[in-house]
Structure 1
Amino acid sequence: MGTPTVAAFTDTYLPTVNGVTYTVKSWRECWEKRGHEMDVVYPGGDEYDPSDGEYPVRSVPFPFYEGFRIGVPQVPDAVEDADIVHSHTPFGVGLSGLRLSRSEDVPLVASYHTPTSEYAEYISFNGAIERTVRRCAESYERWFLEQTDLVVAPSERTRRHVVQEVGVDTRVAVVPNGVDIDRFQPVDTAAFRDRYDLGDGPLVGYTGRHGYEKCLPDIVAATEDMDVTVVFGGDGPAREDLEARARKADLDIRFLGFLDREELPAFYSVLDVFAFPSPVETQGLVALEANACGTPVVGVDSGALSDTIEDDATGYHYPRGDIDAFGEAIQRALDDRERLSGTCLDSREQLSVEHSVDRLEELYDSVLERTAIAP
């Protein structure tokens, strides 16, 4: 079977920076290095100029989450001949993918990046409204995924969630997001330390979206009695409250703000421990990027992080909500940093985005074969 032409539909793309953006971008780059075609349809804005194969659609700002935009359901003419539609969202632009799949009678694949119900608090004003929003989000999510020919989950834990908790009957397969291991590897950190005046002491840090669901104040609480510097990279709606919590702590805490992609290998490499208290991850891409740079991760034993982190090899887990245990796990990782760094680096090859796209190509072919023989 020939290599399919893919049209990817996503509500999150450049210049917005998060795990979904990086996954779509890295899969597309890897796919096209193999001589294949993967176009991307995304919400357009003034801050990013599309390159060949990138098709912005009209969009409006999302009023409840700064930096996000909602795309108007629209199918650009240039992607109408795709062999497979791959939707990275059930909303907005994702509905355009569903429409293209139905109108052209081509398979629809959906990536399950984020449990939509986890973000109910952003558009809710009290507990009753939040519960209602969660139920509606879960029902809609189930409906959308059942319109597809295949659901792709980034981890086994997430696959089980989609099957058992969301209740989807569609086939669900695991394809890790993958890491660009040519980019994410240990690098010299002297210039990075000097640029941000980080000194020579032990560093515990996090980078990524500052969302309330990430539980980032737990990092401050867990390290408050340690002789460390805590470093936060990234930005998001919870940053102001996080900074307010940090001002009350007797601790050296630095907020670096948004970091360019080129700076991230140095950020991960300079840390002694990457702290990750988010219980809502579907894989936790930043944890894998940190590991690829030789930095152990201490993360909550919840969601996909239960599988992403290998205890006593790439980091340590702690029970959700147990701040004392979080602090103890961070200290243990600090004490065992050199050995853990070695075991992290030993696992780099299996994290590669190339392996992920190999699996993705197999699944695309299987979907095309099944739909070709379906009555």
Structure 2
Amino acid sequence: MSGALPTVAAFTDSYLPTVNGVTYTVSSWHEEYQSRDGRMPVVYPKSSHTPGKGEHPVSSLPFPFYDGYRMALPSTPDAVRDADVVHAHTPFGLGLAGLRLARRSDTPLVATYHTPTAEYAEYVGPDALTGVVRAASERYERWFLGHADLVLCPSERTCETVRALGVDTPVEVMPNGVDTQHFRPTDPTAFLSRHDLPTDEPLVGYTGRHGYEKRLSDLLAAAEDLDVTVVFGGDGPARDDLEAEAAERDVDARFLGFLDRDELPAFYSALDAFAFPSPVETEGLVALEANACGTPVAGVDAGALSETILDGETGYHYGEGSIPGFRRAIRRTLDDCDRLAENCLARREEAGVGRAIDRLAARYRDLL
């Protein structure tokens, strides 16, 4: 090993310019690691993203079942072959390339379980095949994770999911962290004006991929009897249906589309409450980003959000599938906004990416 930190080759099937939690986690880890004079080269599917220092695109093709994603050929650039540790952020394409590199060079393989593949089975084919795809994906995940030396999960709920697969590899919680230097309270005046958003009524919003699995239609249903404006940032396959449903329900919903990362702190700061109905999160990174900007969260008591949202401290939970419960959680969050915002800001550094890298570097050294 050279330097104070081990050299870590990160392999991911999801990277910039795609917007999701995996992308932001890998890119923020890469940046933080480099800021400490460490090397964490990233291998990712070639796209429109212009690679910077330590970023290595490989040939890829569009993924036909999920818009915005690309499939990379499982190849390994020469620049990462000297890695002390291999870290796979996917079990597929480039995850296989990482597994192959770890085997050939006899280096430890760490795998982060970001997303249960089975949750996205509905995108791959007709309903009749969903069960088959789920079962096959779980068997494959069990095989891949079983070849790792350590499996990391961003929440305890996600660790339970991995253990339920029957994986023998050690499984540990490792929160991904957020960039608290970037995500901080920001004056939203210019943002509100640029997007023509009202300043005389509460803003309740969400940003992220508009996927059907996120249950964003629940937010429109909950907002139907609330005197609020709902603001959606991001894009995805469910957007057209969400816009049609908002019109049908006569909900004042604004769809801003893709927001540049530099706009997100102002987006979060503009909201009175962040609403998060997705039951499939492994961490719910956008909830932590909102909290880091001083915005409390009304979210479902399911998946990782049961841990990410501290009920009564950084927001409020509601029972999965309960629209009245969601509506009450939003109302409580708005009514208690000032106190909750103070709590969110007091906990900023605990959720920082710097804290995550401290823990991550320690585990790399332990494996070596």
TM-score, reference length from structure 2: 0.98
1:141 aligns with 2:141: yes
SS of 2:56 mapped into structure 1: strand
CA-to-partner distance for each residue in 1:227-274, whole Å, 9 max, x for gaps? 100000000111111111111012211000000001000000110110
Question: What is the rounded CA distance, in whole Å, between the counterparts of 2:161 and 2:65 in structure 1?
Answer: 26
- Superposed, 1:256-275 pairs within 5 Å as 256-275=256-275
Question: What is the rounded CA distance, in whole Å, between the counterparts of 1:267 and 1:186 in structure 2?
Answer: 10
- Superposed, 1:13-52 pairs within 5 Å as 13-45=15-47, 47-52=48-53
Question: What is the rounded CA distance, in whole Å, between the counterparts of 2:59 and 2:250 in structure 1?
Answer: 47
CA-to-partner distance for each residue in 1:207-246, whole Å, 9 max, x for gaps? 0011110000000000101110000000011111111111
| Corresponding letter in the other structure for 1:172 | V
CA-to-partner distance for each residue in 1:277-306, whole Å, 9 max, x for gaps? 000000000000000111110111110000
CA-to-partner distance for each residue in 1:101-121, whole Å, 9 max, x for gaps? 111111100000000000000
Cross-structure match for 1:68:
69
SS of 2:43 mapped into structure 1: strand
Cross-structure match for 2:125:
124
Question: What is the rounded CA distance, in whole Å, between the counterparts of 1:249 and 1:197 in structure 2?
Answer: 21
The runs of at least 4 aligned residues of structure 1 exceeding 2 Å deviation read none
| Corresponding letter in the other structure for 1:207 | T
| Corresponding letter in the other structure for 2:172 | A
Cross-structure match for 2:235:
235
| Corresponding letter in the other structure for 1:349 | E
Cross-structure match for 2:8:
6
In the TM superposition, what is the alpha-carbon distance from 1:52 to its structure 2 partner?
A: 2.2
Cross-structure match for 2:180:
181
Question: What is the rounded CA distance, in whole Å, between the counterparts of 1:27 and 1:267 in structure 2?
Answer: 23
SS of 2:255 mapped into structure 1: strand
- Superposed, 1:91-106 pairs within 5 Å as 91-106=92-107
In the TM superposition, what is the alpha-carbon distance from 1:328 to its structure 2 partner?
A: 0.7
Question: What is the rounded CA distance, in whole Å, between the counterparts of 2:349 and 2:46 in structure 1?
Answer: 35
Aligned-residue CA RMSD (Å):
0.9
Cross-structure match for 2:168:
169
SS of 2:249 mapped into structure 1: coil
Question: What is the rounded CA distance, in whole Å, between the counterparts of 1:188 and 1:92 in structure 2?
Answer: 42
Question: What is the rounded CA distance, in whole Å, between the counterparts of 2:166 and 2:130 in structure 1?
Answer: 21
In the TM superposition, what is the alpha-carbon distance from 1:167 to its structure 2 partner?
A: 1.8
CA-to-partner distance for each residue in 1:304-355, whole Å, 9 max, x for gaps? 0000000110000100000010001101111111111111111111011100
In the TM superposition, what is the alpha-carbon distance from 1:49 to its structure 2 partner?
A: 1.6
Cross-structure match for 1:215:
215
Question: What is the rounded CA distance, in whole Å, between the counterparts of 1:184 and 1:3 in structure 2?
Answer: 26
Cross-structure match for 1:192:
191
In the TM superposition, what is the alpha-carbon distance from 1:3 to its structure 2 partner?
A: 2.2
| Corresponding letter in the other structure for 1:305 | L
Question: What is the rounded CA distance, in whole Å, between the counterparts of 2:13 and 2:268 in structure 1?
Answer: 27
Question: What is the rounded CA distance, in whole Å, between the counterparts of 1:43 and 1:268 in structure 2?
Answer: 29
Question: What is the rounded CA distance, in whole Å, between the counterparts of 1:51 and 1:262 in structure 2?
Answer: 18
CA-to-partner distance for each residue in 1:48-97, whole Å, 9 max, x for gaps? 22122111111110001111000001011111111100000000111000
Aligned identity (percent) is: 64
Cross-structure match for 1:371:
none
In the TM superposition, what is the alpha-carbon distance from 1:358 to its structure 2 partner?
A: 0.3
| Corresponding letter in the other structure for 1:261 | R
| Corresponding letter in the other structure for 1:363 | R
Cross-structure match for 1:324:
324
Question: What is the rounded CA distance, in whole Å, between the counterparts of 2:143 and 2:43 in structure 1?
Answer: 22
| Corresponding letter in the other structure for 2:77 | P
Cross-structure match for 1:56:
57
- Superposed, 1:357-372 pairs within 5 Å as 357-368=357-368
Question: What is the rounded CA distance, in whole Å, between the counterparts of 1:225 and 1:52 in structure 2?
Answer: 50
SS of 2:42 mapped into structure 1: strand
Question: What is the rounded CA distance, in whole Å, between the counterparts of 1:181 and 1:79 in structure 2?
Answer: 29
TM-score, reference length from structure 1: 0.96
